[in-house]
Amino acid sequence: MTSFLTAANTSQESVSHDTRRLRLISGTSNPALSKEIAAYLGINDVPLVSKRFADGELYVQIEQSIRGCDVFLIQPTCAPVNDSLMELMIMVDACKRASARQITAVIPYYGYARADRKTAGRESITAKLSANLLVQSGVDRVLAMDLHSAQIQGYFDIPCDHIYGSPVLVDYLSTKNLGEIVVVSPDVGGVARARAFAKQMKDAPLAIIDKRRAAHNVAQSLTVIGDVAGKTAILIDDMIDTGGTICAGAELLRKEGAKRVIACASHAVFSPPAYQRLFEKNLFEKVVVTNSIPVDQTQNFSQLEVLSVANMLGEAIWRIHEESSVSSMFR
């Protein structure tokens, strides 16, 4: 699964060959990640004006010609989610009207992803609605990372490349002396993700936390299925929002005799009171996340490790631009 690193190093020579028609444009959600991606590709971001009118309406203007270009818009739809999504759609519209050849929305974190099915009567499926809005705005392709559920790929009526942050997490963990490990899914719904992660961790054993959710953002952990006593437990999830699920799981793992607990997630949503739960209770030796969402550096605790996915996203962008395989990055 980490073969993309070798491929990325190999393709670095070709990245500098011809980027005349490749353009990156960053929204306001995560400009630091965009700059890292641009550095990997050896190009500069296209300058963009994004501002608000007095009544809150968004205004976007691209300050460089993109006529006939292959344009990649970097914009995680993180908080404020509605503003981020609307800005992305306005950017797409601006690119269409500026005669871009192809527009790819690079969405490292896809907001509204948890509303991916109906769990009760009269609910919306907002993950599908958001996909419809993006398609209707005129985007040609989507590049997303660690979608909350695999079926969201099918919500887009356009090509959608789905990549994974797990190789970056695995590479980091492989440099640490963790002793005997067990990969833990914080709930039954995350078993497939945890199983794939355990396979990358040299076929580590798997454990599952049986959990029942009392309400949105409220989780009650009941029992651990699997042996965690005396081991380093790696709790893996796609995102950490308020921290309730993963902290409840860590408390249970400690009670069951886990020697160390490490939390890993691709998306550091970190809605209040996530920081207090994650770091003040001292449940975790490390909380390892990626920079798919910007992390508030004023809240950067010693246990927090933020890993960059810029090179991986840059490699995927380059392969899409060159019309070569993206999935082979993960074989």
pLDDT computed for residue 302 by the predictor = 87
DSSP classification of residue 298: G
pLDDT computed for residue 126 by the predictor = 98
Extract the residue ranges of the chain whose pLDDT is less than 70.
1-18, 211-221, 300
Alpha carbon distance 323, 317 (integer Å) = 10
pLDDT computed for residue 214 by the predictor = 62
Cα–Cα separations (whole angstroms), residue 241 to 274, 320, 321 = 7, 31, 33
Determine how β-strand 48-52 pairs with β-strand 58-62. Answer: antiparallel
Query: What's the pTM value of the predicted model, to 2 decimals?
Result: 0.91
Alpha carbon distance 326, 313 (integer Å) = 10
Structural Rg of the chain based on CA atoms: 20
Q: What residues are paired with 154 via a beta bridge? A: none
Alpha carbon distance 265, 289 (integer Å) = 5
Alpha carbon distance 328, 324 (integer Å) = 9
Cα–Cα separations (whole angstroms), residue 124 to 35, 110, 116, 263 = 36, 17, 9, 31
**Nearest partner of 93 among 61, 123, 64, judged by Cα:** 61
What residues are annotated to the active site?
211
| Helix, coil or strand: residue 228 | coil
SS3 helix, strand, coil % of the chain, rounded to 5?
35, 25, 40
Task: Identify how many contiguous H helices and E strands the chain contains and give both numbers.
Answer: 9, 14
Pair of tokens at residue 99? 């005669």
> Identical fold at 3-164+310-330 and 167-307?
yes
**Nearest partner of 21 among 70, 93, 67, judged by Cα:** 70
Q: What is the dihedral of CA 214, 296, 126, 220, to 10 degrees?
A: -10
Q: What residues are paired with 106 via a beta bridge? A: 74, 143
Cα–Cα separations (whole angstroms), residue 197 to 108, 187, 207, 226 = 19, 15, 12, 16
In this predicted model, what pLDDT tens digit does every residue of 263-284 receive, in sequence order?
Answer: 999 999 999 999 989 988 889 9
pLDDT computed for residue 14 by the predictor = 41
């309730």: which residue's tokens?
A: 244
Domain residue extents for the chain: 3-164+310-330, 167-307
Please give the CATH number for the structural domain made up of 3-164+310-330: 3.40.50.2020
Q: Taking the mean position of all CA atoms in its chain, how far away is CA 297?
A: 18
* Fold type of domain 167-307: Rossmann fold (3.40.50)
